[in-house]
Structure formats: structure tokens, C-alpha cells
A = this chain, B = another copy of it.
């Protein structure tokens, strides 16, 4: 049993009927009807009401009603006339709660008694139509911009049809302490709207109208917020109201599922609070799932993965054989495992297609993923072969969940006729995997990796490429054993192989790896001489070191905690590899070097036959 869920139609793209279909399909219990969606809908109120009934959706809220209180009595007469027209409409729709926003445009009287008196009279008119009013403080209300003041006015109005509406954005964006919510009687909280948001420093109106996110995608502490609301005794739906430029234009069912996933995640987080609010209907915990402990494997898919085989050999990987039933090859070195998959890859140039993660309890992790509506991936598996649960990440990457292994993973035994692994591998594992994200999927990806895989999202940053800024965000496990870099290419980026993705391997001796690779014929990504001039200016490195770095295409970075030394292979199709050595407590990714890498890749991509 879970808490009831709802979503404002403004969160979704398409017509009002599209939105209702998608909300129902994604598993919501109800919707908030955003007035402009109804006004623009070819389907009128009776048709919308009937469709909602057929789909099993409740219509939980009609919103917004603006400029209602704090006005002159002359203006209030027109407010009442407007409101009565909306109450009649709500009866046709079958919605019993209307959102009344604190006045932004027409208020001239900054007086709680006046606002309360006007709300009371609106409440009296509402009650005649079986309607109740949920009064909400907008963060930019002219006089009422704090939920505590909105609640004082509701108390003063003292009418059974007048309560308050709480919106996490309006409260948390202003930095107001949500603990005070617990002092509001639950039955007077008529409605709850939830939205997350990134930490931005900008005017709160633009922040609200363009940048809201679903819970778990932003920087607000929504589990704590919701804890306060539930402890106050609120028993209405958890309803999402997210104004977001991207969600308004992306595929409606996909966004609805993303939205629904965010509430499942949030409910689980609330259930895990130190002092969780307890009710008959929730909050409900998901199966426990610790973050992955390691990258089990990465898979490169291509019609012909031969160029990848060459790179892996140059980097010192051992060929461990062919899969016994599929056109798939395995290369390993230490705990780094790369699968080259040529199955159903007609016309594919090399691309990063899958990442396997080692998790403590694959069954629990898979159950959790299913409850979060992660779309499952099916792969043909023969008797005796390991059947790993797999899901499709928002960018299309397949995510596999494998159990922990000492030494070789269990599925490695399905590969035959290979070499034994070498004794002292120079590469020891995977440092990070860099996955390109379509711009429309980025927020969904952050939620996917943080909810399904329990990874933590760090701060994002922009990296300058010759083709524009690349938005980059790390998601990683608390112990940094698993790190993913999610990169959004510049909008105008357009290449048939897509924006390059890569796997960075760990070593304790990057020079040795680079020298061996060079002996085996590797041509590292070329690094310009000016880079080494700058490196000398920055770090005052010895000439001999710089010379060796330049000869091997090695880049370097340093921060207060330690050092980072690395090199890149050239790109084949949409994939390249990196080898990294970390010293001390350096936890970055060589960000100052990323523009140099991107420029070199851009330069090479214009000389494809080189």
C-alpha cells in the first residue's frame, strides 16, 4: 500500500487528453487540472471528467485561481463573480478543491484581516457549490509570500471550506524552515504540491517557471519536507507540480513515468528518515539496495568490433575467448572487463552499449528497479548461462546487475578458447565510465542512477569544446568505487556516430601502460605542444617529465589533495578509452584537460581517414 499520487497536467506535454492517458498509464491515482490546459482543450469538462473516470483517475485539484484577496471591495465583487463561474465549471468537471494563489497582480491591501475576510466569503460561495479552497503563498506573492502567513490568514478566515496548500518549491526556494508545517492541523492542509529544483541563484519566478524538477533530480531536501507534512497529519495525495521547459516538450508517457518514479523514490526516502511518519497507507520502503561496489564489465557493440580489439590489445588486455552461444568476445585486465558484442549490430559503428555493475544483492536491486519502473531489457540466455537482470537507462545504455565475485565474475566462464589472464596486470579496473546523454533525458538520467542504482549526484560543470559547451555531471557511489560521468553534448552537435563515450581504466603506473601501448603500436590522442608549455607554467614540472609526457600524449592535473595523470586513445566509432593514475586524494577527472581532449578529438574527427 502506498501513498496516493497525483500530477499537475502542466508537467506534461500534449493535449489534456494526452496527459490524462499518460498519467494513468504511468500509475498515478489522480491529476491536478491546470486551467490553461482545460481552456485550450477540444474536449470539454464533461468529456474530461468521463475520460478520467474511465482511466481510473481522480481529478484532485483545479488550479490556479489568481488575484483573489487583498483587493478593494469593489474589485472583490468581480473576484466573487469570476470564482462562481469557476465553481460551476468545477461541478461539471467533478473537482472539489480549487487552488487559490496569494495575490501577485492586483493586491493593494496588506492586511491579514482583509485577506481572511475575503477568503472567508469566497469559502462561503465555494461551499454552496461543494467546493473547498486551498490557499497557497507564492514565493513572489505581493504581500503573502510565506506559508506561515498563508496559514495565519486561513486560521483567521476560519471557514470549513478554506484550508491551505503547501508547495515545496515556494517554501524551500525562499529558505523558509519547513519544520513549522507540523504546527498546521493536517485536516487544514487541503493540498500538497511537490517539486524539486537545482540550486540556482536567480529570480525565484524564472527559477520556478523554467527549472523545477521532479523529486530526486534537484537539490531540495524533499524527504525531510514531506516528513513534516505527513507528521502534520496531511492525508491527501502527493502531487507533482513541475514547470520545466524540457518536460513540457518531451514524450508524454516517458515523462509521466519519470514523474511517477520520482514519487516512488521519495516515499522510500521518507520511510527511511530517522523518525519516519507512520500511516496505514505508507510511506512504503523499497527493497534495500546498496550502491554498486564495482563496474563488472562494459560492453562495446559494433557490426565489426575489430578496431576495439586492437586498442584493447595495445592497452594490455588479455583475450579471454568467445562466448559459447553468442558472437561476443571478452577482454580482461585485472578487474577491468570489456565485452565486444557483434550481435544484432548491423551498420553499428562501435558504441558503448552496456555497463554491468557488481551489487551485493542482485535480486533486491532488480526488485527495486522494477518498482521504480525501470524498463527491463531481455537478452537471450541459454540453459546454464547466467541470467543477469538488466534495465535500460534513459540514454539507452543497458544496465546489468551482477553479484559480487572474487576474481573472475561467474559469467566469465561462458567464454571459451581464450588466453589465461596475465599475472601482474598494469590496469586494475574501471575508474569511470563516461556516457553521453541526450539533452531531453539528462534529468531523467540523474533520477534513474540515483534511485535505481543508489548513486549520488554531485555538482555539474560545463566543459568547453570547439563545438560548444558540454554539460558534465558525475554520479558516483559514496566510496567512489563506481563513478559515471553523464555528459550532454552541445545542442548543435551532429555526428552519425553520436557524441563519443568512453571508459577510463585504473592503473598505478600510467607511464608503464603508455610505454607498453606505444610499443604495441598505439597512437595516443595527440596533445598539442602548447598544452605542455602551459603545464610547465602551471606546475613547474621538470623538463624531462614534460618531455616524456609529450612523447606519450600524457596529460596531468594537480589539486590540493593529489595528482591525476592520464592519456587517451583515439576514437573508434563513438568509443575511446582513457588510462588514469590517481595519486593522493585527487578525486576529480582532470577537468582542466578536458577542453584539450575535446579539441584534439574535434581536430581528428575532421580528418577521418588519418
Contacts and interface: CB of A to CB of B under 8 A. Distances in A.
B468 A245 contact: yes
A425 interface: no
Interface in A508-559: 526, 528-531, 533-534, 536-538, 540
A491 B44 contact: no
A533 B89 contact: yes
A249 B491 contact: yes
Number of copies: 2
A39 to B, nearest CB: 5
Contacts of A530: 38-41, 44-45
Nearest to A594: B40
A424 interface: no
Nearest to A205: B201
Given A202-B203, A540-B81, A36 B531 contact: no
Contact of A40 (B45, B203, B528, B536): B528
A42 B466 CA distance: 12
Interface in A94-133: none
Interface string A238-251: 00000001001110
Nearest to A84: B537
Interface string A447-482: 000000000000000101011110000000000000
A64 interface: no
A462 to B, nearest CB: 8
B467 A15 contact: no
Interface string A1-43: 0000000000001110010000000000000000110111111
A599 interface: yes
A464 B36 contact: yes
Interface in A193-250: 200-203, 206, 209-210, 245, 248-250
A462 B243 CA distance: 13
A586 interface: no
Contact of A492 (B85, B200, B250, B536): B250
Given A490-B249, A528-B40, A468 B595 contact: no
A538 B82 CA distance: 7
Interface in A572-610: 595-596, 598-600, 602-603
Interface string A474-499: 00000000000000001111000000
Given A41-B528, A248-B468, A536-B85, A492 B440 contact: yes
A250 B45 CA distance: 46
A595 B469 contact: no
B249 A467 contact: yes
Interface in A239-267: 245, 248-250
A439 interface: yes
A86 interface: yes
A120 to B, nearest CB: 21
A248 B490 contact: yes
Contacts of A467: 13-14, 248-249
Contacts of A200: 202
B89 A466 contact: no
A364 B209 CA distance: 44
Contacts of A462: 209
A591 to B, nearest CB: 12
B596 A39 contact: yes
A66 B115 CA distance: 54
Query: Which of A13, A39, A529, A599: most chain B Cβ within 10 A?
Result: A39
Contacts of A82: 537-538
B13 A468 contact: yes
A570 to B, nearest CB: 14
Given A81-B540, A203-B202, A491-B439, A40 B599 contact: yes
A529 B82 CA distance: 17
Contacts of A595: 36, 39-40
Query: Which of A18, A41, A526, A529: most chain B Cβ within 10 A?
Result: A41
Contacts of A209: 462
Contact of A202 (B39, B201, B540): B201
A139 to B, nearest CB: 14
Contacts of A602: 14-15
Nearest to A538: B82
A85 B36 contact: no
Contacts of A44: 528-530
Query: Which of A14, A200, A248, A536: most chain B Cβ within 10 A?
Result: A248
A39 B534 contact: yes
A526 B202 contact: no
A14 B528 CA distance: 15
A201 B208 CA distance: 13
Q: In the A-B complex, list the 10 residue pairs whose CB atoms are closest, starting with the nearest.
A: A249-B468, A40-B599, A202-B202, A85-B537, A201-B203, A249-B490, A249-B492, A39-B534, A40-B596, A248-B468
19 contacts: A13-B467, A14-B467, A18-B466, A38-B530, A39-B531, A40-B596, A42-B528, A45-B530, A81-B540, A82-B537, A85-B533, A201-B202, A201-B203, A245-B468, A245-B469, A248-B464, A249-B468, A249-B493, A440-B492
Interface of A: 13-15, 18, 35-36, 38-45, 78, 81-82, 85-86, 89, 200-203, 206, 209-210, 245, 248-250, 439-440, 462, 464, 466-469, 490-493, 526, 528-531, 533-534, 536-538, 540, 595-596, 598-600, 602-603
